[in-house]
Amino acid sequence: MINESWAATAVASEIVPADNSRASVTLQLYSGSPMYIAFGGANPVVGKGIRLSTTFPLVVIDDYRAALAIRGNCDAGLTAAGGYATA
């Protein structure tokens, strides 16, 4: 069940805040363009790393990275929106 929403733009956006008690996070893309994610203080690079798109709209992070801040980035002029659930 997705219980929080997020939005990403061409400027790297924090889509999930850090939480040391979080053991897992599920990210889902609802609409918009493909986007890329990065963890902690790193900014995602378009074209590299974990990509969410309409053909791959869901990712589950269940290792140490789940507790880190998660940042999203789209290509220039594009946006994406979705939701996340945590455990």
Provide the residue ranges of all domains of the chain, joining segments of one domain with +: 4-86
Mean pLDDT within 34-58: 93
Where in 25-65 does DSSP place strands (E)? Answer: 25-32, 35-39, 50-52, 58-61
CATH code reported for the domain at 4-86: 2.60.120
Does residue 10 surpass a pLDDT of 80?
yes
Average pLDDT score over the chain: 93
Which pLDDT belongs to residue 3? Answer: 76
Percentage of the chain exceeding pLDDT 90? 84
pLDDT interval class at 26 (50, 70, 90): very high
3-state secondary structure of 65: helix
- Which has more pLDDT, 30 or 1? 30
**Is the pLDDT confidence value at 5 over 90?**
yes
Give the residues across from 60 on adjacent strands. 26
For residue 61, pLDDT over 90 is answered with yes
